[in-house]
């Protein structure tokens, strides 16, 4: 059962670097962040997830959620992957100050990140229909 699984993950999360986990069934979806102590049952809504907690209002996440909401009426894997391939960085004035410096904040502000030392490794679009059928498309990227 999901609650047993998440309790086990919570008990062992200290063994790993920070992470986010989405787990669920056709009827429910849970989010767990290793920095929190409790998983969250997600209500039907649009959420965003990057390298921080759920719905952290980083410029790239706000932008991607808006784009996702615009295609939600008729989602297609290619359109979803198009959202995830956006290389546009945020204006300096919109960047958060997480202590890593302006140049790195700028690099990390795009939805799709590409640099010699850090970047997007994969993008996945998963559509689960009401009848249980699924469509999934994934793109992988080199270093």
Tens digit of pLDDT per residue, the chain (143 long)? 999 999 999 999 989 888 999 999 888 999 999 988 789 999 999 999 988 889 999 999 999 999 999 999 988 999 999 999 999 999 999 998 889 999 999 999 999 999 998 999 999 999 988 888 999 999 999 87
From CA 107, how far away is CA 88, in angstroms rounded? 9
Q: Which residues contact 47 (CB under 8 A, 6 or more apart)?
A: 31, 54, 55, 65
Whole-number pLDDT of residue 42: 97
Closest CA to 33 of 59, 2, 57, 56: 56
Tell me the three state secondary structure of residue 13: helix
**What does DSSP say about strands 40-42 and 29-33: parallel, antiparallel, or unpaired?**
antiparallel
Whole-prediction pTM: 0.84
Q: Where are the domains of the chain?
A: 1-45, 47-143
Residue 107 and residue 115 in contact, taking contact as beta carbons nearer than 8 Å = yes
From CA 132, how far away is CA 122, in angstroms rounded? 24
> Please, what is the end-to-end C-alpha distance for the chain in angstroms?
37
């Amino acid at each position: 059962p999901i609650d047993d699984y998440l309790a086990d993950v919570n008990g062992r999360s200290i063994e790993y670097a920070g992470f986010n986990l989405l787990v669920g069934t056709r009827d429910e979806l849970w989010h767990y962040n290793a920095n929190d102590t409790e998983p969250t049952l997600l209500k039907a809504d649009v959420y965003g997830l990057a390298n921080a907690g759920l719905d952290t209002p980083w410029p790239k996440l706000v932008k991607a959620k808006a784009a996702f909401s615009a295609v939600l009426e008729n989602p297609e894997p290619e359109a979803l992957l198009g959202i995830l391939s956006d290389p546009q960085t945020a204006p300096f004035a919109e960047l958060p100050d997480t202590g890593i410096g302006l140049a790195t904040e700028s690099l990390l502000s795009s939805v799709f990140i590409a640099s010699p030392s850090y970047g997007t490794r994969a993008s996945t679009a998963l559509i689960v229909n009401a009848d249980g059928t699924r469509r999934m498309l994934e793109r992988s990227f080199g270093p």
